[in-house]
């Protein structure tokens, strides 16, 4: 099979992923093999490929927003799974036994393993997944439309839940890439308002098209304080202004797995008045099922830019430079 393999992390301009012919993987007990139809490109992939996240294992095939169909079953998998269209996300497995797993917080499991980081992912014609960590995709989403939901959608959804937006409230979104453009549509569906801070003119246009009441470059220009905020950009310097722009009792939810250094906070300017700062780590399987159901109800439409699988380096470079709106999706050829 064809796969884009990372042997050694490097700046994406050095094309660290190389196209390889790899053996088609064979599923073990409790696993399924999935023939990949589409795989979304996540900012986390960029952090893995460039080494911002230390490698867990090398070589590795990245990719954790995967849509495909099950073409082979490992021992113990129900026969009805065969040929089903499914999705695979970042959470590849958890221990099922630790205090976090037993209390509905498997996203915090210290033994969790991740697709495209601990296990080979979807930048390939096939991948192996644990049968307990795959998701049925609502029929209304075509493959290319569904792929972005599997991480951008899920992590955006979890960070939205953690932002505690009050009914009818206003949420400020900082950064407007893959996750934010999906979550804005959920925010609107819930009857809340969104303001968007992003440097990219094109992203500002898309935000307004999708119903943002305001979109601009500078946090200082926001039309007023927000009830809640989500920081999608991995930019620590945005944390103080985002906190300052919150109403009393507001929450700033950090969506990223990686963040550049956060400047010093001032207690009175940034945190007092019961403002809260919360991070988001991974997701639970329940988050995924809730996101897929609510995205279907809201009729969420992903804006996508498709690339052939072998152009994965270019897709990552284009994402890094904000050269497209929405989510890049790789298609095996
Ligand atoms: Zn656990
Ligand atoms: Zn991701």
What pLDDT digit, counting tens, does each position of 101-152 carry? 999 999 999 999 999 999 999 999 999 999 999 999 999 999 999 999 999 9
Residues 296, 300, 301, 302, Cα dihedral to 10°? -100
CA of 40 to the centre of ligand 1 (A): 27
CATH class assigned to 154-279: alpha beta
In the chain, CATH 3.90.180.10 covers: 2-150+284-291+302-331
What pLDDT, on a 0 to 100 scale, did the predictor assign at position 156?
Answer: 95
**Distance from the alpha carbon of residue 286 to the mean position of ligand 1, in angstroms:** 15
Q: In which residue ranges of the chain is CATH 3.40.50.720 found?
A: 154-279
Give distance in angstroms: CA of 105 to centre of ligand 1: 8
Q: In whole angstroms, what is the distance from residue 62 CA to residue 124 CA?
A: 9
Contact 263, 240 (CB under 8 A): yes
DSSP 3-state assignment of 308? strand
CA 270 / ligand 2 centre spacing (Å): 29
Q: List, in sequence order, the alpha helices (H) in 51-173.
A: 143-146, 152-162
Residue 258 has pLDDT above 90, yes or no: no
Q: How big is the CA angle at 163 (ends 217 and 146), to the nearest 5 degrees?
A: 80
Strands 66-73 and 85-88 come out as: antiparallel
- DSSP 3-state assignment of 230? strand
Ligand lying nearest the CA atom of residue 284: 1
The rounded Å distance from CA 273 to ligand 2 centre is 33
**Residue 231 in contact with residue 43, Cβ under 8 Å?**
no
Decide: pTM greater than 0.85: yes
pLDDT confidence band for 256 (50 / 70 / 90): confident
User: Which CATH architecture best describes the domain 2-150+284-291+302-331?
Assistant: Alpha-Beta Complex (3.90)
Give SS3 for 202: helix
Q: How many whole angstroms from 7 Cα to the centroid of ligand 2?
A: 20
Q: What distance in angstroms lies between residue 145's CA and the mean position of ligand 1's atoms?
A: 31
- Phi/psi of residue 205, each to 5°? -60, -45
Q: How far away, in angstroms, is 107 Cα from ligand 1 center?
A: 8
* Centroid of ligand 1 to alpha carbon of 260 (angstroms): 28
């Amino acid at each position: 099979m064809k796969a884009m393999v990372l042997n050694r992390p490097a700046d994406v301009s050095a094309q660290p992923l190389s196209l390889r012919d790899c053996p088609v993987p064979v599923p073990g007990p409790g696993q399924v093999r999935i023939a990949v139809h589409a795989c979304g490109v996540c900012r986390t992939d960029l952090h893995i490929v460039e080494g911002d996240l230390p490698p867990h294992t090398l070589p590795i095939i990245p990719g954790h927003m995967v849509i495909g169909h099950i073409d082979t079953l490992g021992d113990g998998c129900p026969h009805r799974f065969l040929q089903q269209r499914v999705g695979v996300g970042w959470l590849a497995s958890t221990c099922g036994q630790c205090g976090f797993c037993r209390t509905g917080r498997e996203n915090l499991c210290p033994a969790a393993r991740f697709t495209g980081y601990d296990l080979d992912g979807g930048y390939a014609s096939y991948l192996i997944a644990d049968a307990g960590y795959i998701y049925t995709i609502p029929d209304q989403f075509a493959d290319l439309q569904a792929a972005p939901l599997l991480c951008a959608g899920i992590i955006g959804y979890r960070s939205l839940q953690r932002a505690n937006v009050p009914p009818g409230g206003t949420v400020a979104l900082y950064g407007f890439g893959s996750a934010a453009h999906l979550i804005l549509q959920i925010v609107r569906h819930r009857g809340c308002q969104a303001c968007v801070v992003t440097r990219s003119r094109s992203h500002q246009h898309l935000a307004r098209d999708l119903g943002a009441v305001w979109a601009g470059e500078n946090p200082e220009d926001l039309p007023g304080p927000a009830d809640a905020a989500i920081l999608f950009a991995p930019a620590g310097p945005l944390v103080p202004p985002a906190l300052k722009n919150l109403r009393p009792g507001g929450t700033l939810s950090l969506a990223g797995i990686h963040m550049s250094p956060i400047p010093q906070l001032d207690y009175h300017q940034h945190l007092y008045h019961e403002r809260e700062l919360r991070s988001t780590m991974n997701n639970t399987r329940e988050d995924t099922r809730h996101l897929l159901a609510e995205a279907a109800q809201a009729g969420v439409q992903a804006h996508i830019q498709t690339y052939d699988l072998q152009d994965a380096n270019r897709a990552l470079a284009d994402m890094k430079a904000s050269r497209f709106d929405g989510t890049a999706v790789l298609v095996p050829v």
